[in-house]
Amino acid sequence: MKSPTTFLISLLPLNFLSALFGFLIHLRLPRPLSSRLIRLFVSYFKINLSDAKKKIDEFQSIGEVFIRELVPGSRPLGDGLVSPVDGTLRESRIIHAGKLPQIKGKTYSVEEFLGSSSEAARFEGGTFFNLYLSPPDYHAIHAPLAGDIGVATHLPGRLWPVNDWALKNVSDLFSVNERVICYLESSLGKIAVVMVGATNVGKISVTFDSFTSNGFFQSKKPTVRIYPDKPHFNKGDKLGCFHFGSTVVMLIPPGGPSLTIQKDSGKVSVGTTLATF
């Protein structure tokens, strides 16, 4: 049974409110006003802009702060499989019985998460990583390995928060929220880099296509996009952006080189080694 708080939140038009929030934070206002708002926002969330290409007064909207370009070399790449984001590694473990852990006592289905039984079967016995991005974090998603994108899937859904409260109170949270799944054909096989939408994540965009998530008039049907030319990404290249923080879940199939987990929780940056092989 849903708690009263969960029930009340479920009645809110979270997708519309999130799209509206995304529109507002990317709105370009007159320079004196925008500079003041950006400074207040950066101060409130304690966002570190020391590695940004632009100075704080050069940003034209609050949203631009989250998808800021970084000074080259500010995210050195470690060996092996690296973190695709700045954030917190919540958990990593073996995928068992078609389930992924959400929080202690709660799991969710890999098949429902990926929207495909055949894709889910490929990852049984493999490894998963759950990485959370908070407002102070840089919000771009980068390639954790070199590889080619042959397929991407957009699964529309709800936009519940992905904070600790939601993990405890929303069943199948990561399977009901909107997702953009990038399948990267790499030296570890075809891995899934899943960008999970959340409340106030008004948009998820990718660098290899023009589509974005949670538009005001987007289709509510799942969309599979196939790329015959298979755009190539070097390790560390930008795959996409959250236009506000959320969660990335990576799934690594079994059968390839053996993985040795180097980090199973805690703060990470783009390029932090998660596993060697």
Which residues does the annotation mark as catalytic?
86, 142, 246
Distances (CA, A) of 122 to 181, 184, 254: 15, 14, 8
Residue 32 pairs in a beta bridge with none
Query: What are the residue ranges of helices labelled H in 30-128?
Result: 31-45, 62-66, 110-114, 117-122
Token code pair at residue 64:
């631009």
Distance of CA 100 to the CA centre of its chain: 16
Q: In degrees, to the nearest 5, what angle opens at C-alpha 188 toward C-alphas 167 and 144?
A: 55
Nearest to 173 by CA among 242, 253, 90: 90
**243 HSE (CA, 13 A, CB side):** 25
CB 126 within 8 A of CB 254: yes
What's 58's DSSP letter? G
Distance of CA 265 to the CA centre of its chain: 17
Report the chain's C-alpha Rg in angstroms.
Answer: 18
Nearest to 181 by CA among 123, 125, 113, 237: 113
What phi and psi, each to the nearest 5 degrees, are found at residue 65?
A: -60, -40
